Structure 1
Amino acid sequence: MTLPDAVARPRIAAVDLACSDDPYPEYERLRAQGPVVRGEFGQWLVVHHGAVSALLRDGRLASHFPREFIRLTLGHGPAAEFPTRIVLTQDPPEHTHARRFLGQAFGTPRVRAMTPAVAALVEELLAPARDAGRLDLVTDLAVPLPVTVICRLIGIPDADRDQVLPRVIELAQVFDAANLKPDERDGVDAAVGWLREYVTALLRDATPGDSTLAGMFAAATPEERGDVATIVDNLLFLFHAGFETTMGLVSNGCVALLRNPDQLDRLRRDPTLVRPAIDEFLRFDSPIQNAIRVAREPIEIGGHKIRTGRSVMLLLGAANRDPAVFDRPAELDLSRTPNPHLGFGGGLHHCLGTALARLMGELTFTALATGFRDIAPDGDALRRQHGSLRSFERLPLAVRSA
């Protein structure tokens, strides 16, 4: 007996693809089926660049999830409240107020003014590797660089960084709730509770008028501040998102260069390629592989009718390799132009820290390409297992100074 196609065809678990060593052949297979395919548990997966780009800006899709769904995966503790109060999942008007406050620190002129300080930090972090001839790119550079920069941007003292970071890493499990085991919830709840208390005290004791977000908060009127608990949670999200994106950009980009030594040679010969190179790294192996939305009304996508309340996953990683938009999409080309990648998302939820992530990426890859004449693997890399964020946990390298 032949089963109906809908039964016989296995459903796709998109969160598993982000964890795999190479999800791109599977993305190619999905794209061949059309712009939209069925995933697990009634979820719809959008894989074509044109459809993903349009839906990132489509008001018929909401970014927030029903509280019942959140409690099903995260329980009833502090962690279950967190996703409902951050800019990633909010829609206007709540999203507008929080993003306006956070955006004060992320304008391009303000970020570019940070260049000397960030460049000095990159050199400081790479100095031990020049002497030792080796480094773990993740633990020695790709994590401490954004963590330190964002700590300083928020107003978190360097001395507190080692207490804050492990709890922010624990917080990251909120964004991979489908893989969170029930016995892990207590640790996530404890991390969220500790971080909330810490940031609330930081804001309470901040000096009005300094250049940090805590200082801006202290100088703001109650109307400008809005709900303090919401600002606290958004600062926690900012810390998480800021280091996650940069960690993925730096580690994925470095692996891409190691696997394409001709492109590393190009960057060494012409460091001005670093700006388009950042866009190409974000396209070629996106740190953010997918974004989830919920249909707030019936919507038709690629000939499929999606009912109200259905989950829609936009596969940014698949869209960024769409041959309808990118010539030779499986090839790394540091001078690719145009490059309309979706590595920073789009629409209302376009990555708030785009300018800062670019700055840290540009300075890091310039230092790696021009400061070392040899860069090579020095042991087994370990890819991080996360349902939407793509990066490495360990990336040991042997290096030789120029």
Structure 2
Amino acid sequence: MGGVHLGLANEFEPTLRRLLDHDGPYRDPESGAWFVARYDQVRAALADRRLLTRSSAHATAHLDADQRAAVEPLEAHLRRWFVFSDEPAQHRLRLAFRRALAGSGRDRELADGLAAAARRATATRAAGGDLFATFVVPFTGAAVTAMLGTPDGDAARLTGWGERLLAYLGMDGFDPAVVDAAVGGLTALRDYYVEDYLHRGRGVVAETFRVAAADGAAREDLVAAFTQLLTGALEPSRTALAEGIARVGDPAVAEAYRARRTAFVSEVLRLATPFHFAPRRTAGPVEVGGRCIPAGTRVRLVLPAANRDPAVFPRPGLLDVTRPERRHLAFGWGRHVCVGTRVAEGIVAAGLDAVTASWPAGLTVRLGRTRTAGMTVATALTACPPPSAPPERDRR
């Protein structure tokens, strides 16, 4: 929604290659936005304080009055998300939650909790069926809500409400059903945060919320932090884990995972890059890649293109565990880097551990995806039957 007409939904890889053919930013004449695709330029722009967050998920100027009124509750909420805000209050909260998720001892605690969640999901997975629905979705939901410290029985409804917000974030054109569902999901999440989470949440993240509330943080800022932690860890984890599972059925790939686990996860996240853009606007004239972008201009930093820049990632479509780890930009860079980066990495690693340890060797699956202009979302992992043996007379 909002004038992105570069074919990212239907011609993903060719569009990324076309953008990377430009040495500098590309101005889309239809939307008036500038698209930055080269890795070094995207990384520098992500850290450039002259490029401000756009303060919204979607451009709404082209909507009629009724449509703008319908999306305003969502846009007002999303303007408080860390990724869409440069406000000092959100910056302080961002730092607080980053410390909570990556503080001393948290890595081991997080890894142990995720491993336990993966084992439970593996043990309860029904035989056969779509691995995405029977393993990835329940495991990632349980993992993300465990990170938040919500009661175990709340995972399904929390992830369901979060999925409604994610559907809105991925919306290409105005869809009243998606908008209504997202407003309902937001209302439910706000009520849950106020009525349940602040009282029943456990662990360091829940305690960080309580401390921030006691210190006078605005309730709506805290609700926004809660929904972004939920959705920001949920979708990248699902899509990246599905991408990894689709590859480890190859014995050579599985061996590469076991040999260099962290590097493998980094490569999976690079290749998956679920969110396509980091939206920005220029506070003043900014030079990017030799082009001067005027003040007040919309800029889209194209994350999956940067993650496939052959100048940085030779043979970019290849999963190569010898590449430098965590060099990808799937979670952004600089002051707006996703606070849940380590959580998502841990979820993907724990899920792949479960797959490689407990599922049949040589398991192959076909990954189903859907793409909008703004997101790539995994939708299915369908087991592929092993090739049938040729008749006896053909083997002689």
**Could you say which TM-score interval applies, normalised by the shorter chain?**
0.7 to 0.9
Query: Which ranges of structure 1 fall in alignment gaps of 5 or more residues?
Result: 1-10
Kindly state the Cα deviation for residue 241 of structure 1 after the two structures are TM-superposed: 0.8
Change (3 A) 1:218 1:319: closer
Q: 2:348 aligns with which of 342, 346, 361?
A: 361
Q: 2:106 aligns with which of 107, 110, 113?
A: 110
Per-residue deviation, residues 27-85 of structure 1 (Å, max 9, x unmatched): 12221122211224101111111111100101111113379945766633421311111
Kindly state the Cα deviation for residue 374 of structure 1 after the two structures are TM-superposed: 2.4
CA distance in 2, matches of 1:24, 1:78: 34
Change (3 A) 1:286 1:307: same
Per-residue deviation, residues 369-399 of structure 1 (Å, max 9, x unmatched): 233312123xx65313333232311222269
Per-residue deviation, residues 287-323 of structure 1 (Å, max 9, x unmatched): 2222111112121222332222211111111111111
CA distance in 1, matches of 2:13, 2:371: 16
Aligned position for 1:229: 220
Query: Which ranges of structure 2 fall in alignment gaps of 5 or more residues?
Result: 387-396
CA distance in 2, matches of 1:79, 1:265: 42
Per-residue deviation, residues 253-295 of structure 1 (Å, max 9, x unmatched): 233445xx3642433xx61311100111122232222211111
Aligned position for 2:205: 213
Kindly state the Cα deviation for residue 212 of structure 1 after the two structures are TM-superposed: 4.6
Asked whether the equivalents of residues 236 and 344 of structure 2 are also in contact (C-alpha less than 8 Å), the reply is: yes
TM-score when normalising by structure 2: 0.85
Per-residue deviation, residues 192-224 of structure 1 (Å, max 9, x unmatched): 1121111111245347xx42533343355632x
Question: Within 5 Å, which residues of 2 pair with 1:265-280?
Answer: 265-267=254-256, 271-280=258-267
Aligned position for 1:65: 55
Question: Within 5 Å, which residues of 2 pair with 1:281-300?
Answer: 281-300=268-287
Aligned position for 1:90: 85
CA distance in 1, matches of 2:198, 2:124: 37
Aligned position for 2:133: 139
Calculate percent identity across the aligned residue pairs: 24
Aligned position for 1:238: 229
Change (3 A) 1:24 1:263: farther
Change (3 A) 1:135 1:334: farther
More deviation, 85-94/364-373: 364-373
TM-score when normalising by structure 1: 0.84
Aligned position for 2:390: none
Kindly state the Cα deviation for residue 334 of structure 1 after the two structures are TM-superposed: 2.4
**For this pair of structures, how many residues does the alignment match?**
376
Asked whether the equivalents of residues 135 and 399 of structure 1 are also in contact (C-alpha less than 8 Å), the reply is: no
Change (3 A) 1:399 1:104: farther
Aligned position for 2:394: none
Q: 1:174 aligns with which of 164, 168, 173?
A: 168
